[in-house]
Amino acid sequence: MIKKILYPLLLCIPLLAILSFTSPEPKEYPTDYFRPPLNIPLILSGSFCELRSNHFHSGIDIKTKGVEGYRVYATAEGYVSRIKVKPGGFGKAIYIRHPNGYTTVYAHLSKFNDKIEAYVRKKQYGRESYGVDLYPDASMFPVEKGEKIALSGNSGSSGGPHLHFEVRDTKTEHPLNPLLFGFKVEDTQAPDIQKLAIYNLEPGSAPLPTPDVYTVSGSGANHSISETIIEVPGNYMGVGINAHDTFNGANNQNGEFSLELNSDDQTLFYFERDELSFSFSRYINSYIDYAYKALSRLRGNTTTIQKFFVDPGNKFPFFDIKVNNGLVDLSDGQVHDIVIRVRDAKGNLAKLSFKAKRADNISLPAIPAYTKMFAYDQEARYTDTGFEITIPSGALYRDLPFKYQTESASSNDIYTPYHVVHEGFTPLQNHFTLKIDGSNVPEGLRSKAIVALKDYRGNVQAFSSSSWLGNMMTVRNREFGKYYITIDDTAPKINPVNISDNKNLAGSSNIRVKISDDLSGIDTFRATVDGQWILMEYDPKRAMLTHTFDGRIGKGSHVFKLVVKDGRGNSKTYTANFTR
């Protein structure tokens, strides 16, 4: 039997027994140890712990005036402890360990300094791989404060030229807020609160109900709403806001430093963004109203609501105060004074005050029709004809009225019905395991079969990790939606940019080729000249492979060969003769 969600019982601390809470004492960080990583004014396009897709941002993003190539400097003495190169993520990144117990990270670089570049290039050629993750000895690359270590860039998953910069606790690997270390970033602008969200969270309500959203006006410490008193048709109120912060010199909507909810001078929720853990970063999908954001995205006006109450399955450890899991107790029927305070790292304040009470008529949020109820803290399993799903304990943030149905698929390359697995507006922390009957896939096509997902926006994602278990195809994922089995027997595409057969490249500094794949994605690529492996940098944002001539290819006639494979083993080869 599935238990009901009884939020007031989740913490055995009576509200009346708690007289008051104050913000935690700030931690001490050295404010005169590090120098800036760039010699230009630090204007930020991204703040620490701001809201990103499936994660909190682990550093600050420093603008580089829209261009690449600014010198990046070691912020203090130490040694290079790690060098990582990969097509996505941080792209080209350097990690420097400092003797004071901190590690700094510099990411999305375009190029390392000469010594590091030569070391990385040697490792790439030795392993015949563009992507490398290197841990040099402490004696290999000692650095002094202010020493040039790289040039800024746009590598990896960067959305434009900038420097991503982090300070981490070396022992725990936890990212810390760089703005607490004395870096001079001008910020005289207070955060802005734009929307107030109110939830009726009467015990037994599941899933998270749709909030009532109010427009917030004003600025600074004088934000307000037009309603005199908000009446909630339940004993317990959840509160959320849509807000952002800005820094001087930039229009980017960034994250805040601290968020606080008070009811009648009692702090119910406080979140100070001074420290993160990568292990817990995905809990952002529980911290925000994931469904509201997804639905607003479909309407073309994405709105993110940050919740001041905590789902029962949210194990994020960095909430400093969460009395009664952040719920406001309205059960006494009295009018309560609610205050929200939002600050940035410089202490600039946004404040919103309003009144709330329980409505005369209480109404429980309706639970929609469902196939089976899943408890967030138990393993959940559901089977039907040709279908099975297993969701581990802890993957859900709240109890889930799970829905499942099938829909007919009319396409000739789809060999199953659409298995409509709940809906894409419900987030998950951990992977579930999905099995789909693939008996209708012809024997000769089984090696090309792949599980695909059509999400709530209509986007299709295929999983190269799909595998056969008898006649069932299985896959692990963390997103609900329409799942089906299709076939990928189409080779990747190769489109030469500046090379062709018999091309004279004597005046060119590189070879550039675009590659793409329509379904299972690029799995591997291998380029050679005269049979010898050559390094080609892969930029997925532009679907571009680039080999920069570095003296290894001499004058004369040569043969360039590129082999690209996708996630289902389909292969494409391009060959061209060229001269230098």
Q: For 193-203, what is each residue's pLDDT tens digit?
A: 999 999 999 76
CA 383 to mean position of chain CA atoms: 31
Domain holding 158: CATH number?
2.70.70.10
Same domain assignment for residues 399 and 460: yes
Q: What ranges in 358-504 are assigned the alpha helix state H?
A: none
Residue 350 lies in a domain: yes
Please say if the pLDDT value at position 10 is more than 60. Answer: no
Same domain assignment for residues 352 and 380: no
Q: What is the mean pLDDT of residues 277-298?
A: 97
pLDDT digits (tens, 9 = 90+) for 498-523: 999 999 999 999 999 999 999 999 99
Residue 194 lies in a domain: yes
Measure Cα distances from 417 to 50, 410, 432 in Å. Answer: 40, 9, 20
pLDDT digits (tens, 9 = 90+) for 188-240: 999 999 999 999 997 656 789 999 999 999 999 999 999 999 999 999 999 99
pLDDT of residue 2: 32
Pairing of strands 418-421, 404-407: antiparallel
Among left, alpha and beta (phi > 0; psi -120 to 50; other), residue 497 is alpha
pLDDT of residue 24: 54
Same domain assignment for residues 253 and 144: no
Domain holding 542: CATH number?
2.60.40.1220
Domain holding 479: CATH number?
2.60.220.30
Same domain assignment for residues 293 and 388: no
Residue 205 lies in a domain: yes
Same domain assignment for residues 275 and 400: no
CA–CA gap between residue 318 and residue 414 (Å, rounded): 45
Look at residues 259, 307, 268 and name the one whose alpha carbon lies nearest to residue 287. 307
Q: What is the mean pLDDT of residues 173-183?
A: 98
User: Is the bond preceding 24 in cis, omega lying within 30 degrees of 0?
Assistant: no
Residue 249 lies in a domain: yes
Residue 155 lies in a domain: yes
Please say if the pLDDT value at position 12 is more than 50. Answer: no
Same domain assignment for residues 476 and 500: no
Query: Residue 363's pLDDT band (boundaries 50, 70, 90)?
Result: confident
> For the chain, what is the domain count?
4
Q: What is the mean pLDDT of residues 393-416?
A: 94
Query: By mean pLDDT, which of 5-9, 31-35, 118-122, 560-564 is the weakest?
Result: 5-9
Same domain assignment for residues 170 and 81: yes
End residue of a domain, out of 127, 150, 181:
181
Please say if the pLDDT value at position 526 is more than 90. Answer: yes
> What average pLDDT does the structure give for the chain?
94
Q: Where do the DSSP E strands lie in 288-409?
A: 306-307, 321-322, 328-329, 336-343, 349-358, 372-374, 380-384, 387-391, 400-402, 404-407
Q: What is the mean pLDDT of residues 296-316?
A: 95
End residue of a domain, out of 472, 487, 502:
487
Same domain assignment for residues 505 and 483: no
CA–CA gap between residue 46 and residue 503 (Å, rounded): 44
Same domain assignment for residues 129 and 74: yes
Residue 228 lies in a domain: yes
Contact 150, 164 (CB under 8 A): no
pLDDT of residue 17: 33
Per the structure, the complete domain to which residue 563 belongs is given by 493-579
Same domain assignment for residues 135 and 223: no
CA–CA gap between residue 337 and residue 323 (Å, rounded): 16
Query: Residue 366's pLDDT band (boundaries 50, 70, 90)?
Result: confident
Contact 165, 183 (CB under 8 A): no
Same domain assignment for residues 393 and 480: yes
Same domain assignment for residues 408 and 338: no
Pairing of strands 418-421, 481-487: antiparallel
Residue 23 lies in a domain: no
Residue 26 lies in a domain: no
Look at residues 538, 547, 405 and name the one whose alpha carbon lies nearest to residue 480. 405
End residue of a domain, out of 358, 393, 428:
358
